[in-house]
Structure 1
Amino acid sequence: MADEPLIDKIHDLSDLELATLICLVAQEHCIIDTEPDSIDDLVLELELVAAKVFGLSHAVIDCSEHTSLDDFAYSILSAEGSPARSTSPVRTRADSYFLNAPTFQSIAARSPVSENFADNKSIANVIIAKNLDEAPKQVQIQALELMRTKRIYTRTSVQSAPKRFLFIALLAGGEGPRLTKHLNDQMFISHFHDPEDGFPNLEEKYDDGSSISSVVKKSPIVPEPYLLPRISAMDIEHLSQLSEYTTVTVELSEYQQDIIAFLRLHRAVAGGISATATRNFDKLSKCLAPLHDLSYATPSLVALAARKIYPHRIHIVQPEKERSMQWGSDVDAVAAELDGIGAEDVIEDVLGSAGAETPL
């Protein structure tokens, strides 16, 4: 189990800091959702979380329908690093990503960025992709490849992601899947941050009484070298090792499988309970145990894992495609039954008394 000082530090973390820690421990990526009016404050808060709490470099990508592959590639190369492998034999593959068409016009052609821009840069530890769901499909595919291979190809080089690497898709408003199918399924967890829960790091930084929303960020937020991060690389590695040895009993494994079966059979679910989600469900259940100073998973941790793994994956069925329509149900009655049901409602149904039986 983790030592007491580390557990105390974990208990003092905010919801955003804890979500970041879970992903770093699991070496996975996440979706963070909030209200549209608070997304800019949330970007600043996540920058401070990366810099102050974990001592990690970060990059922010402000996505829109006009974001190109070049915009994406150059935006994430924000941290100073060693020269890229510009002589790599796989360099020719980059040409297929950057077509000489107006749609993929490089930011280098529109700004004084040199062709050797990437040569003295490296991929940031934490990438915050604001409004990633608004980016074109080819940009989302590029993000997916970066997460899977931990590499990205620019015009002149191949860049590799650092060992501690986290990609955060920052979305605003909405429920259920909003990214492309495979990118959405690649996201480990999803978390909704209620603005009423505050932005503690941002409020601490600007505690002079000025409005947070009116703050103009004049320079990037960077880790201060004389301040040690609250959660160190050794802490994360230790928690990661502990999660690998978390005990999951046969009864608890059956409970996990029952939850998955009930989700797949729920009348409101059209899809989203994938094999990837199942693997992530098991992984998160194990990762949560050491954060609670346990060497074994419990039913409550499994339920918590389900609430984080599935909300962004579940597709709610259209009334005309609901399975009871095969036996003559009235479409208006089905529509009334499904009205207002979201992914979280489905999960609570399955975890409630009418769903999977909790092991004693």
Structure 2
Amino acid sequence: MAEESLINKVQDLSDLELATLICLVAQEHCIIDTEPDALDNLVQELELVATKVFGLSHAVIDCSEHTSLDDFAHAILSVESSPTRSNSPVRTRQDSYFLNTTTFTSIARSPVSETFNTDNKTIANVIIAKNLDEAPKQVQIQALELMRTRRIFTRTSVQNAPKRFLFIALLAGGEGPRLTKHLNNYIFISHFHAPEDGFPNLEEAYEDGDSISSVVKKNPVASSAEFLWPRISATEIQLLAELSHHATVSVEVKQYQQNIISFLRTHRAVAQGVSAMATKHFDKLAHCLAPLHGLSYVTPSLIALAARKIYLHRIHIVKPEKERSMQWGSDLEAIKALLDGFGAEDVIEDVLGSTGAEAPL
């Protein structure tokens, strides 16, 4: 079980900080969704979360239908620093891979040329891909390959991702799958951040008291101290990861988890069932949540919480004409009325509700 001081720090985290921590513990990647008007503020908040909370370098790529593979490769690279231990005496072996850049701002560059030199570059710890769903298919495939292989091929070299690596697909204004099929299925969790939940790190960064909306958009600059003394250290993340591996699951709770999967696969509004990758991620997230709550075992409530984060971006709502009861003569208009406004969140709440899988006492 984690120390009480660490649990207290985890409980003080915001929703975005907690989503980031979960992904770093699981060594997986995530989708973060918000309203279109809040997207720029969310980008800056995530930059501050990376630097201030976890001491990680970051890079931002603003995707569009015109984004090329060179744009993508160029944007995710940051300038590699090589300070000596005498120049940075407080650095430790554990946090050495957290500090990969001397420029504590996000990377946003023009298209890369054939002569672009990447020899002194390295992939940033946290990649924030704004509007990734708008990028061409080949760019999304490149993003998937980066997540899977933890490396990217440039024109002159092969760049490997750092030990602490997180890819955040930042989307706006939508529900359900919006990325290419395999990329969407590979991403670990999804989280919706409502603008009214605030941007605590960004609000703290501006000391003049102006509202965020009235401030000229610019990247807040992080200090070197924020890299060297993050709120959540590499050692603490590693401890939480080890504890998650040892979290136990009772037979009854495991049965509840399997029932949720079965109910999702057979729900009349679900078009393509749920994948084996989603089931694997479901189990992994449930184990990761236990130490964050100061537990050495997985509870039914943690299973339900994991289901909401794992399946929200994976569920396809069936088209009325393809709904299974149409095979037995159901009225199409009645099915359209039934499915009108029905989304992935409604499916999950159905499965977790009184008419779905029964939670063990």
User: Could you tell me the TM-score, scaled by structure 1's length?
Assistant: 0.90
Aligned mates of 1:269, 1:108 — CA distance in 2: 42
- Secondary structure of the structure 2 residue equivalent to 1:50: helix
Quickly say closer, same or farther: Cα 1:225–1:207, change in 2 above 3 A: closer
Partner of 1:60: 60
Please name the residue that 1:41 is paired with: 41
Q: Matched residues in 1 for 2:120 and 2:225: separation?
A: 20
Q: For the residues of structure 2 that align with 1:144 and 1:213, how far apart are their CA atoms?
A: 34
What corresponds to 2:22 in structure 1? 22
CA distance in 2, matches of 1:223, 1:177: 37
Q: Report matched runs for 1:318-337 at 5 Å.
A: 318-337=319-338
What's the counterpart of residue 239 of structure 1? 240
**Number of matched residues?**
333
State the match for 1:126 in structure 2: 126
Could you tell me how far 1:223 is from its partner in structure 2? Answer: 5.0
- Distance in 2 (CA, whole Å) between partners of 1:144 and 1:25 is 20
Matches within 5 A, 1:193-212: 193-212=193-212
1: CA distance, partners of 2:222 / 2:23: 21
Deviation, 1:207, is 3.1
C-alpha distance in 1, partners of 2:111/2:170?
Answer: 23
Check whether the contact 1:272–1:313 (CA below 8 A) recurs between aligned residues. Answer: no
Q: Give ranges in structure 1 of 5+ residues lacking alignment.
A: 83-105
Deviation at residue 80 of structure 1 after TM alignment: 1.6
Corresponding residue number in structure 1 for 2:89:
none
Deviations 1:282-324, CA, capped at 9 Å, x for gaps: 0000000000000000000000000000010000000000000
Gaps in structure 2 of 5+ consecutive residues: 83-109
Task: Compute the displacement of 1:61 (Å).
Answer: 0.4
Mapped partners of 1:81, 1:152: distance in 2 = 19
Which residue pairs with 1:189 in the alignment? 189
Alignment of 1:337-348 (within 5 A): 337-348=338-349
Structure 1 position 225, deviation (Å):
2.9
Structure 1 pair 182/272, CA: closer, same or farther in 2 (3 Å)? Answer: farther
* Secondary structure in 2 matching 1:64: coil
% identical equivalent positions: 77
CA distance in 1 between counterparts of 2:219 and 2:19 reads 26
- The verdict on how the C-alpha distance between 1:18 and 1:199 changes in structure 2, with shifts beyond 3 A counting, is same
> Structure 1 residue 272: deviation in Å?
5.0
Residues 57 and 79 in structure 1, CA contact (< 8 A), matched pair in contact too:
no
**Per-residue Cα deviation, 1:150-172 (whole angstroms, up to 9, x for no partner):** 00000000000001000000000
1:161 aligned partner, one-letter code? A
The structural deviation recorded for 1:115 is 2.4
2:112 aligned residue? 108
| Equivalent AA in structure 2 for residue 319 of structure 1 | P
Q: Does the 8 Å contact 1:34/1:195 carry over to 2?
A: yes
Residue number in structure 1 paired with 2:359: 358
Structure 1 Cα separation of the partners of residues 320 and 28 of structure 2: 34
The aligned counterpart of 1:89 is: none
In structure 2, the CA distance between the partners of 1:262 and 1:273, relative to structure 1 (3 Å rule), is same
Q: Kindly state the Cα deviation for residue 251 of structure 1 after the two structures are TM-superposed.
A: 1.2
Structure 1 residue 211: Cα displacement: 3.0
Counterpart-to-counterpart distance in 1, 2:330 and 2:134: 37
